[in-house]
């Protein structure tokens, strides 16, 4: 996931005179890859690997660099102070969004840059760990305006009204979900519910309607360049572990900016109470033998300790084969000792690992499958087609509505991060049409083809799938000719030494009378035809299109072995 930073602020946080190119190279070694740099606009953008959600925080990237170089740095105060702040959870919200956690951070200086960075972190956590707010959502509030204890419950939509963040008018829950962009975007999270979560203080002032939007009164945190302020942070969720981890990440980022944190007690309707915020170090261990096995070289105990310190670990003890250590609370990626070993190897340096020649020499050769696919690619390239490669994931809208038909049976991802990449493609033609719709400014005619995998649910087993290789081609232009693409198919099957037959069929995506199924050895293996004008308009295209798609596995089963 991409993280965009203000370059000048980032270099100021680093606090040392280091060349930008050297810094970028170091970050690459530490799994933070440069995605974009615009010095004129003061922007630097990094790609963060999905396992390191802690590095969505600018402050954690800075800490990573400072630890790696061994520079002195001011450590955040992670001591969680006790308090009498309470949140009372009512029974009505338990079936809907049952988990909540909170923290109060006092005496923290929040500049404009700080606030932007915290909001960016909040949205990145929403999009990734929290699965678009389905599993967890974060709220930041002006602490001094809040009157404890707080109440978290669910009410009927008509009973909920407040000023949403960024608006100076009172709106109902229904109005927020129907009229505000944020409400429309996340309204599906309330689908089928007769009550919505609501969070308010002892003065009946609404904090938020989680996970949709904060209130304008308590949720409008403002930057202050000179005076420290206090914040209240809340996280609600449907998954307790995700809620707790999200709370941990957002609080630890805030504490890197200064201040101290206070616990908030949660009282549940069953009589239990919790103080969920836990920032204590994680005890971990690893084997020296396993480290040497993965590294392929022997290194001393002192070197191991030095590398671990530079990667942010503390309380390191090496006794015999066992290494005991403690990791920061926000290192959620440490699931196995191999994750810690990876950190040691990163610090050791991949470029310093001595290569070893394999003891056994094997002679390579081209697979028959690869040779066949290469022949098909060369054939279409020779006919003037350009090969394209699209993602395996697509949007159901492309597979169904835009094609004027029901989508073929296929798999859909649960809690996809992006709607445009939510469905596994069961065919290629809609994907090629979508590709053409992104190339409207290029000259016509355009001829493209793809040899790619599609995923189809198996008919006889609900938990199995068929992964097959398909070929598809599309031509768009004023003078496209169905006979031309038919003659190209004839030549292809002649080269493949297969007898082919065509049968006229009816299909909602194609012009009536201008669509044919393709048969080889009495098996239907594909389709070709001229796209219906309505489909062309659906994709915002303006010229006639002819397409074809073939299932290669139907006639060449040896392919199935390799994919």
Same domain, 223 and 302: no
pLDDT per position in the chain (563 positions), as tens?
888 889 999 999 998 888 999 999 999 999 999 999 998 999 999 999 888 999 999 999 999 999 999 998 899 999 999 999 999 999 999 999 999 999 999 999 999 999 999 999 999 999 999 999 999 999 999 999 999 999 999 999 999 999 999 999 999 999 999 999 999 999 999 999 999 999 999 999 999 999 999 999 999 999 999 999 999 999 999 999 999 999 999 999 999 999 999 999 999 999 999 999 999 999 999 999 999 999 999 999 999 999 999 999 999 999 999 999 999 999 999 999 999 999 999 999 988 988 887 777 778 877 767 778 888 899 999 999 999 999 999 988 899 999 999 988 888 888 776 777 888 999 999 999 999 999 888 889 999 999 999 998 877 655 677 888 899 999 999 989 899 999 999 999 998 888 999 999 999 999 999 999 999 988 899 999 999 999 999 999 999 999 999 998 655 555 444 44
The strand pairing partners of 323, in sequence order, are 286, 318
Please identify, among 218, 241, 274, the residue that sits at the C-terminal boundary of a domain: 274
> Coil, helix or strand for 167?
coil
Same structural domain for residues 300 and 265?
A: no
Strand 260-263 to 80-81 pairing: parallel
Do the domain assignments include residue 114?
A: yes
pLDDT for position 562? 40
Query: Which residues neighbour 138 within 8 Å (Cβ) at sequence distance 6 or greater?
Result: 122, 125, 126, 130, 233, 234, 235, 246, 250
Rounded distance between C-alpha atoms, residue 450 and residue 225, angstroms = 55
Burial class (CB in 10 A: 0-12, 13-18, 19+), 363: exposed
375 and 391, same structural domain?
A: yes
pLDDT of residue 462: 59
Q: What CATH number is attached to the domain comprising 240?
A: 3.50.40.10
Residue 553 DSSP SS3: helix
**Both tokens assigned to 50:** 């999905």
Clarify whether residues 208 and 101 are in a common domain: yes
The one-character DSSP state at 329 is T
Place of tokens 């429309």: 184
- Residue 15 · residue 59 · CB < 8 Å: no
The reported pLDDT for the residue numbered 17 is 85
> Would 439 be classed as within a structural domain?
yes
Residues 383 and 270 in one domain: no
Q: Is residue 363 part of a domain?
A: no
pLDDT at 85: 98
Q: Could you tell me if 454 and 412 lie in one domain?
A: yes
The total domain count for the chain is 4
Q: What burial letters (b/e) apply to 121-145, b meaning 16+ CB within 10 Å?
A: bbebbbeebbbbbbbbbbbbbbbee
Same domain, 211 and 303: no
534, 469 Cβ separation under 8 angstroms: no
Quick check: 250 and 56 in contact, CB under 8 A? no
358: in domain: no
Domain boundary residue, one of 50, 69, 88: 69
pLDDT for residue 467: 84
CB 149: neighbour CB atoms within 10 A?
14
Same domain, residue pair 250 and 295: no
In a domain? residue 360: no
Query: Nearest-CA neighbor of 153 among 195, 204, 104, 192?
Result: 195
In the block, which residue shows the tokens 């669509």?
515
For residues 87 and 195, state if they share a domain: yes
Based on the fold, state whether residues 379 and 313 are members of the same structural domain. no
Q: In which element (H, E) is residue 81 found?
A: strand 80-81
CA distance 383 to 90: 69
Q: Are residues 120 and 256 in the same domain?
A: yes
- State which of 69, 94, 117 marks the end of a domain: 69
| The two three-digit tokens of residue 539, written as one number | 């994709």
Residues 6+ apart with CB under 8 A from 547: 429, 432, 433, 472, 473, 474, 475, 485, 528, 529, 531
- Which pLDDT value is given to residue 554? 56
Judgement on whether residues 61 and 156 belong to the same structural domain of the protein: no
Which pLDDT value is given to residue 458?
79
For 155-189, letters b (16+ CB in 10 Å) and e give bebeebebbbbeeeeebebebbbeebebbeebeeb
Structural domain of 11: 2-69
The answer as to whether 357 is a domain residue is no
The CATH code of the domain that includes 325 is: 3.30.56.10
Q: Is residue 546 part of a domain?
A: yes
Neighbours of 512 (CB within 10 A): 12
Q: Is the peptide bond before 149 cis (omega within 30 degrees of 0)?
A: yes
Residue 359 lies in a domain: no
Is-above-0.85 flag for pTM?
Answer: no
Residue keyed to tokens 């082919």: 500
Strand ranges (E), 291-376: 314-319, 322-327
């Amino acid at each position: 996931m991409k993280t965009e930073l203000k370059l000048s602020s980032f270099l100021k946080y680093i606090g040392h005179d280091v060349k930008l190119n050297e810094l970028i190279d170091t970050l690459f070694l530490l799994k933070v890859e440069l995605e974009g740099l615009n010095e004129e606009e003061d922007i630097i953008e990094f790609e963060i690997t999905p396992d390191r959600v802690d590095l969505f925080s600018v402050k954690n990237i800075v800490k990573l660099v400072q630890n790696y170089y061994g520079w002195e740095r001011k450590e955040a105060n992670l001591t969680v102070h006790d308090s009498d702040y309470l949140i009372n959870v009512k029974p009505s919200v338990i079936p809907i969004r049952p988990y909540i956690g909170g923290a109060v951070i006092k005496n923290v200086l929040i500049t404009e840059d700080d606030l932007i960075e915290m909001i960016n972190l909040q949205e990145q956590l929403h999009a990734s760990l929290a699965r678009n707010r389905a599993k967890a959502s974060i709220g930041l509030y002006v602490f001094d305006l809040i009157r404890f204890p707080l109440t978290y419950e669910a009410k009927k939509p008509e009973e909920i009204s407040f000023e949403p963040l960024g608006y100076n008018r009172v709106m109902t829950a229904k109005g927020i979900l129907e009229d505000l962009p944020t409400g429309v975007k996340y309204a599906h999270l309330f689908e089928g519910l007769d009550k919505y979560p609501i969070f308010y203080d002892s003065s009946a002032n609404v904090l938020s309607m989680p996970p949709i939007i904060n209130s304008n009164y308590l949720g409008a945190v403002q930057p202050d360049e000179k005076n420290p302020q206090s914040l209240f942070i809340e996280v609600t969720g449907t998954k307790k572990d995700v809620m707790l981890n999200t709370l941990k990440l957002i609080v630890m980022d805030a504490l890197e900016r200064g201040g101290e944190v206070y616990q908030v007690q949660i009282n549940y309707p069953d009589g239990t109470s919790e103080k969920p915020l836990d920032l204590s170090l994680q005890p971990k261990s690893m084997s020296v033998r396993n480290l040497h096995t993965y590294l392929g070289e022997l290194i001393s105990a002192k070197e191991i300790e030095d590398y671990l310190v530079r990667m942010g670990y503390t309380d390191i003890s090496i006794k015999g084969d066992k290494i005991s250590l403690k990791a920061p609370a926000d290192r959620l990626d440490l699931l196995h000792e191999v994750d810690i070993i990876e950190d040691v190897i990163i610090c050791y340096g991949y470029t310093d690992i001595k290569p070893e020649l394999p003891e056994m020499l094997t002679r390579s050769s081209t697979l028959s499958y690869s040779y066949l696919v290469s022949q098909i690619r060369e054939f279409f390239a020779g006919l003037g087609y350009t090969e394209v490669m699209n993602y395996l994931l697509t949007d159901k809208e492309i597979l169904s509505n835009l094609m004027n038909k029901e989508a073929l049976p296929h798999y859909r991802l649960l809690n996809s991060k992006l709607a445009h990449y939510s469905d596994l493609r069961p065919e290629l033609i809609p994907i090629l049409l979508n590709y053409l719709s992104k190339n409207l400014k290029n000259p016509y005619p355009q001829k493209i083809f793809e040899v790619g995998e599609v995923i189809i649910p198996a008919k006889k087993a609900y938990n199995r799938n068929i992964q097959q290789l398909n070929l598809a081609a599309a031509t768009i232009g004023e003078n496209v000719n169905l006979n031309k693409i038919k003659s190209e198919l004839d030549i292809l099957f002649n080269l493949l030494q297969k007898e082919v037959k065509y049968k006229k069929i009816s299909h909602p995506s194609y012009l009536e009378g201008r669509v044919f199924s393709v048969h080889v050895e009495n098996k239907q293996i594909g389709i070709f035809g001229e796209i219906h004008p309505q489909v062309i308009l659906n994709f915002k295209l303006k010229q006639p299109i002819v397409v074809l798609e073939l299932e290669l596995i139907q006639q060449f089963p040896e392919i199935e072995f390799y994919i």
